[in-house]
Each structure stands twice: as C-alpha cells, then as structure tokens.
C-alpha cells in the first residue's frame, strides 16, 4: 500500500550510481496504448513538473531547439485504463504526467490487485525502476491523460554526459524520497476518518504544489482504489466521505471535491477535532 513507495524510492537512491547509459537501443519499446484525445484536464506548467530537472539539462524550451528524434516524446495521449508500462518491463524511460492522473498497482502471485500510489499532473511515474533496470509496478491511466516521456538511453545522443544525467536523476530521486516521507507521515493515522481526511488534504496540497487548484478538484480514482490504497473497505470510504460532507468540511458530487473547511479537515486528520 502507501508504505511501499518510500522503500522503493530509497532503494533506487542507494543504487543510482549503477545507471548504465550504454545499453542497446533494441530494448527500447514504445508502451502499448490506444491513442485517444485527452480529456479537458488542465496541463501542468513545465516549471512545476518533476521532469523539469532533466528537461533543463537538454536546454529544452517548448520545442525551440531540435533534439535527436525520439529523445523527448511530449504530450502523448493515454486512454483511460491504458498502461504506459507493466511490472517487470525493462526500464527505458522517465515518465511525467502532463495532465490527467495514473495509479500504480501491484498484483501479488495470489491475491487481488493492490494500489500503491496515485500520480497527478506534474508528478513522475516509475522512477523506482532505475535500480533493477525494470519497472516494479504497473502504471495505468485513471482517465484520459497526457504524459511526457524522456528516453534514458538517448540522452547521450542529445549531448548529455552520464555524470550530468546521474546528478539530475539524483536530484529527482531525492525529491521523490522527501515527497514519500511527507506523504507517508500524513497518511499514518488510526481511524478511517483520519486516514481519509489526510488523504484528501494530501491531494489538495499536491495540486497546490504543482500550480493547480487545491481548493476545487476532481478525485479521478474509484472508491475501491482509495480503499485499496488506504487499507479500508470500499463501503467505509463511501460512508466516511458522506460524513465529511455532512460535517461541512468538503462538498462532493460524483468525483468533484470542494474544500469548504480545510482547517477542520486538518484538525480531524491530526486527531485534534
């Protein structure tokens, strides 16, 4: 569940010096997906994107310079339910969500699919795959989305040295570890009400950090996905959301959420309400 992400990030951070930039291009395969127009989601500004550190290395500025073909694949459409990589696939690219949202899932040998993370506009996906040269989970779009893909093995063709790339990747992974620490600290709560309140607050704050509205947003994941992520029953999630609405902390209609009393939600999450 949500504890898995930080362990994976720290494992990657310890092994970053093992990045090999000289692998055969034969391993590079485009993700299997149906290309459809993305929904009318807001696109995150490049300045607020987790991939920006590597894009800066390429001196990338909205397509004004020419890069080797296939190095940076911008604004790729991904249909709802489509995957950009699966657990066990060779690590080939850095992905960042431009708009829309994704979930990371793991499927134990015997058991149901488990949601281990959600990814919103501006956030990276699959960086933990660097350590073992393979993605450790499956990334699936929860709605029509856009992603930017930066091919690792073509960075040198773009004039980037291995040392430069490693330094930027270390920066990205350091931010991922710090983010995971904050996220896990906010979600470790005793009651279902505290966990769900903390979860809604974390989504709100993550939207704000990426220059988007954290006061009025869409929860694109299903109730069962939230339940899987927080270790709750789906019925508990639905019931608790209704209770938070009755208390006047949020207003929710279908998947649309408005933060009415964020200070009260914070107090509930901290157990001081």
| Secondary structure (DSSP) of 38-84 | PPSPPPPPGGG-TTHHHHHHTT-STT-S---TTSEEEEEEE-TT-EE
Quick check: 27 pLDDT over 70? no
pLDDT of the residue at 251: 97
Q: What is the mean pLDDT of residues 58-73?
A: 66
Q: Is the pLDDT of residue 85 over 90?
A: yes
pLDDT at 21 over 50: no
More confident residue, 134 or 6: 134
**Predicted pLDDT at 59:** 66
Instruction: Report the C-alpha gap between 129 and 156 in whole angstroms.
Output: 20
pLDDT at 67: 66
Inform me whether the pLDDT recorded for 68 exceeds 80.
Answer: no
Q: Max alpha carbon distance in the chain (Å)? A: 58
Average pLDDT (196-201) is: 94
What region, left, alpha or beta, does residue 251 occupy, with left being phi > 0 and alpha being psi -120 to 50 degrees? beta
Whether residue 66 has pLDDT greater than 80: no
Sign of CA dihedral 29, 33, 34, 39: negative
What share of the chain has pLDDT > 70, as a percent? 77
CA dist., res. 38 & res. 145, Å (int) = 5
Position 44 pLDDT exceeds 70: yes
| Run of H or E including 182 | helix 162-187
Mean pLDDT over residues 39-58, rounded? 80
User: Residue 259 has what pLDDT?
Assistant: 97
How confident is the model over 39-65, as a mean pLDDT?
73
> How many whole angstroms separate alpha carbon 98 and alpha carbon 44?
6
| % of residues, the chain, pLDDT over 90 | 50
Beta strands in the chain (DSSP E): 72-78, 83-85, 93-99, 101-106, 114-120, 124-125, 138-141, 145-151, 216-218, 250-253, 256-259
Average pLDDT in the chain: 81
Q: Where in the chain is the domain with CATH 2.60.120.10?
A: 4-184
CA–CA gap between residue 140 and residue 227 (Å, rounded)? 17
Residues 203, 217 contacting (CB under 8 angstroms): yes
Q: Which of the listed CATH numbers 3.40.50.720, 1.10.10.10, 2.60.120.10, 3.40.50.970 matches domain 4-184? A: 2.60.120.10
Report, at the CATH architecture level, how domain 191-269 is classified.
Orthogonal Bundle (1.10)
Polymer length in residues for the chain = 273
CATH 1.10.10.10 segments of the chain = 191-269
Encode pLDDT of 225-269 as tens digits.
Answer: 999 999 999 999 999 999 999 999 999 998 999 999 999 999 999
Distance CA 11, CA 112 (A): 25
Each residue's pLDDT tens digit, 94-137: 999 999 999 999 988 877 889 999 999 999 998 888 888 999 99
**With bands split at pLDDT 50, 70 and 90, how would you rate the model's confidence at 65?**
low
Q: Specify the pTM.
A: 0.79
Beta bridge partners of 169: none
Arithmetic mean of pLDDT, 131-153: 92
Residue 66's CB is within 10 A of a number of other CB atoms, namely 7
Question: Exposed e or buried b for every residue in 182-214, given b needs 16+ CB within 10 A?
Answer: ebeebbebeebbbbbbbbbbbbbebbeebebeb
Could you give the CA distance from residue 63 to residue 55 in angstroms, rounded to a whole number?
A: 11
């Amino acid at each position: 569940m949500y504890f898995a992400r930080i362990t994976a990030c720290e494992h990657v951070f310890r092994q970053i010096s093992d990045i090999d930039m000289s692998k055969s291009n034969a391993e590079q395969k485009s993700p299997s997906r149906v290309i459809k127009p993305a929904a009318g989601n807001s696109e995150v500004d490049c300045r607020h994107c987790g991939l920006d550190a590597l894009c800066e290395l390429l001196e990338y500025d909205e397509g004004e310079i020419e890069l080797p073909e296939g190095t940076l694949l911008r604004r790729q459409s991904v249909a709802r339910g489509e995957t950009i990589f699966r657990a066990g696939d060779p690590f080939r690219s850095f992905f960042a969500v431009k708009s829309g949202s994704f979930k990371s899932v793991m499927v134990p040998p015997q058991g149901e699919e488990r949601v281990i993370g959600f990814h919103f506009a501006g956030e990276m996906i699959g960086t933990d795959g660097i350590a073992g040269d393979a993605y450790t989970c499956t990334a699936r779009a929860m709605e029509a989305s856009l992603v930017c893909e930066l091919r690792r093995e073509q960075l040198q063709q773009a004039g980037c040295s291995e040392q430069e790339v490693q330094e930027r990747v270390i920066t990205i992974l350091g931010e991922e570890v710090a983010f995971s620490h904050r996220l896990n600290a906010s979600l470790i709560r005793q009651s279902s009400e505290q966990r769900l309140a903390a979860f809604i607050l974390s989504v709100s704050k993550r939207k704000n950090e990426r220059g988007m509205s954290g006061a009025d947003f869409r929860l694109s994941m299903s109730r069962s996905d939230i339940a899987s992520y927080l270790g709750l029953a789906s019925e508990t999630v639905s019931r608790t959301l209704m209770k938070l609405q009755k208390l006047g902390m949020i207003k929710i209609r279908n998947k649309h959420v408005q933060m009415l009393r964020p200070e009260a939600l914070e107090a509930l999450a901290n157990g001081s309400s």
